[in-house]
Amino acid sequence: MKSKTTLLIALLLFTLTLTACGTTETSPADQAPPQRDTPPPRPEDNAQSAPAEVEAQPVEQTDTTPSDGETTTFKIEAWTDNWFAAYLGEELIVEDSVSITTERSFNAETATFEASYPLTLNFILKDFKENDTGLEYIGTNRQQMGDGGFIMQLTDLSTGAVVAVSDGSWACTVIHEAPLDKSCANQSNPVAGTAPCGFTDLGEPAGWMSASYDVNSWNATTVHSFDAVRPKDGYDQIRWDASAQFIWGPDLETNNTVLCRVVVTDPASGN
């Protein structure tokens, strides 16, 4: 009986083993279908998928023609008795390196700067005075009125041409005048504001360095001779253009502070 039972169990295990093996085989339906060669693309398919042709754009050309307002290097040369400052608009270009309070401050100045045409050049010109009497060496045997004088030339270094000089075409105005009576110079105790030592001090007009400031009423510009100015130290250091002239207010002795303006245009175009 025991042997029959053992035989049945063995047969049962064999049957189960065969069933399990059969279920692990892949059925034909589960197998991946065979790969077929992909047909080559048709010409019309290529035409549809090709990217659209980009229209050619013209190449932009760089304009190498110099434009208006091109920057140029300029050289300014000036001499004055006794002191000056030059501005491009409101920007300082050069100021006399010797203080206005220095006795006998005669010297020339040269400077270079970058700018473009047209240039608005403004100048402050001063003759030395101890106080508002307009006198110098007060209380000594040399007590006297001073005397001014200014000369300038401007060179365009790109061409080497002198493009501006001081002359009677400038617009100038006197803002400090003293003494109003020249007999003040003979006073043993000259007092500013007390006759005969009166004075006029207008001060600098607000905004006068702006290119838009109207200088049409500035008509004090006066050309003076070499002999009247008697230029001293520094003047001979500069080779002056023949057209450059000494300018100041009408009176070299009593016009102590003078403001001047000149507009320099491009000689090639007039702009």
Query: Tens digit of pLDDT per residue, the chain (271 long)?
Result: 445 555 555 555 555 544 444 444 444 444 444 444 444 444 444 444 444 444 444 433 333 333 456 899 999 999 999 999 999 999 999 999 988 887 667 789 999 999 999 999 999 999 999 999 999 999 999 999 999 999 999 999 999 999 999 999 999 999 999 999 999 999 999 999 999 999 999 999 999 999 999 999 999 999 999 999 999 889 999 999 999 999 999 999 999 999 999 999 999 886 6
Q: Pinpoint the alpha helices (H) of the chain.
A: 2-24, 43-49, 226-229
pLDDT at 24: 44
Nearest to 247 by CA among 102, 123, 163, 128: 123
pLDDT at 100: 86
Measure the CA dihedral 190/194/197/198, to 10°.
Answer: 150
pLDDT at 246: 98
pLDDT at 126: 96
Nearest to 78 by CA among 121, 49, 43: 121
Nearest to 106 by CA among 138, 135, 76, 149: 149
Nearest to 89 by CA among 261, 214, 270, 265: 261
**Predicted model pTM:** 0.74
